[in-house]
A = this chain, B = another copy of it.
Amino acid sequence: MKKTKQKVNAAIIIIGNEILSGRTQDVNVATISNWLNQLGVSLKEVRIVPDIEKVIIKTVKEMYKKFTYIFTTGGIGPTHDDITSKTISKAFNMSYGYHDEAYKLLEKYYSKKNFTSGRKKMAMMPRQAGLILNPSSGAPGFFVKNVYCLPGVPSILKSMLGGLENKIKGGKKILTKTISARTVESEIAKSLTKVQNKFTDIDIGSYPFFKQGRIGVSIVVRSTKKKKIDDCCKEIVSFLKKKEINILGKK
């Protein structure tokens, strides 16, 4: 394989007891990952950690040097279990307090008389942080170094990604093709291995599905190179046809 430039990558740290306890189903990983794919950034790891300061600090310190971008979700609200802002300040030895711009922004959002102490907490963060604007509910996220701190509520998180795009410098866009076929994995395993061994720099995944009484396998081909994906898919289609396996769809 030819040497390529270091890929632009990312990791997510989900801060939230509610995900670990099984109470809440995370959906932010898929949202952030699909958004990163469009920007040419490859998500390489996710960690879900509890709302415990020393665990968060250890995780952030371990990860921010390993990946181009780190996204955290959760823990930037006004309640006692929202400890992300304070914890990130500690992790990077930054002063934690009212962030001038965030304070002004929230004061304006709520109007002076409704800007209660509970709400003021949402203006507390590393004072040198950059802000991530929140078009849906006022309270901004923030970033320090390569660590971008987003809220946990999926709809709010989603609304804030657009404003982040000019801060993320991606690589080549990651392209995907999926071939779905009426088969089982064991029937195609050998042929698929041959194709994978031929296209070493392409990522081929095989995922069985069972839905609404239908059984099949989705073969997912991912790369930044369109031509290689096309060549690889041609070989997959060719062995499926040879085996007389019904192709259900290509996209």
Contacts and interface: CB of A to CB of B under 8 A. Distances in A.
Interface of A: 14, 17-27, 29-34, 36-37, 43-51, 55, 77-82, 116-119, 121-122, 153, 155, 174, 176, 185-190, 192-193, 196-197, 203-208, 210, 220, 222
Contact of A189 (B27, B79, B176, B203): B79
A190 B45 contact: no
Contacts of A121: 186, 189
A205 B81 contact: yes
B30 A153 contact: no
Contacts of A222: 17, 21
Contact of A80 (B24, B34, B122, B204): B204
A220 B23 contact: yes
Given A192-B80, A206-B79, A48 B22 contact: no
* Interface SS, A side: mixed
Contacts of A22: 29-34, 36-37, 43
Given A81-B206, A119-B186, A30 B37 contact: no
A155 B196 CA distance: 28
A203 B153 contact: no
Contact of A187 (B21, B118, B205): B118
B153 A210 contact: yes
A79 B20 contact: no
A192 B205 CA distance: 47
Contact of A18 (B26, B197, B207, B210): B207
B210 A155 contact: yes
A79 B191 CA distance: 10
A9 B146 CA distance: 32
Contacts of A45: 20, 47-50, 55
A78 B186 contact: yes
A44 B210 CA distance: 31
B30 A29 contact: no
Given A21-B222, A118-B186, A119-B186, A153 B80 contact: no
A157 to B, nearest CB: 12
Nearest to A209: B153
Contacts of A25: 27, 30
Given A20-B33, A45-B55, A116-B187, 19 more contacts: A17-B203, A18-B205, A21-B43, A21-B222, A22-B30, A22-B37, A44-B50, A45-B48, A45-B49, A47-B47, A51-B205, A78-B185, A78-B189, A80-B196, A81-B196, A81-B206, A117-B190, A118-B186, A119-B186
